[in-house]
Amino acid sequence: MQRVSKSEVRSRVQAAGLRATAPRVAVYQLLLESPRPLSHGEVVTQLASPDWDQATIYRNLLKLVEAQLAWVASHVGGVARYAARHGDEEPHYHPHFSCRTCGAVECLPKARLASPVDPRWREALADAELQLVGECPSCRETASAG
């Protein structure tokens, strides 16, 4: 993902009707710039701010989801992973690969999912998820080397 300016992130947060607090802007900017969905723990680790506790980060993730600036991209292994919504894009109709060994989640955007052809279903569709679960190339290499 490309860098997004802090002022642009602030503007998007405010346009969604939220206060642009420092932790909220930092969390949203991290999600916008991440090439893959992140768990709460990964967000905490990557932000590594002594000023914000884990609960603050978690509440901000929930607020961003509620404001439709972010969404829960994966629940594999009982761990929610969050990704930013990018503008007025179509719903996120592509599968994700989740590694059952290391927990990494990767978007597979070239493997697009078709939306339902029948307009009754297409209009009723709120979200779509397809999780492909297995062992990522890195974990497979580690396992075969050891």
Domain 6-145, what fold? Answer: Arc Repressor Mutant, subunit A (1.10.10)
Distances (CA, A) of 88 to 46, 47, 80, 91: 27, 27, 23, 9
pLDDT digits (tens, 9 = 90+) for 17-51: 999 999 999 999 999 999 888 999 999 999 998 88
Reported confidence tier of residue 5, pLDDT bands at 50, 70, 90: very high
Reported confidence tier of residue 144, pLDDT bands at 50, 70, 90: confident
Closest CA to 24 of 42, 12, 37: 12
Compute the average pLDDT of residues 71-82. Answer: 82
User: Residue ranges of the domains in the chain?
Assistant: 6-145
pLDDT digits (tens, 9 = 90+) for 100-119: 888 778 877 776 666 666 77
Reported pTM:
0.73
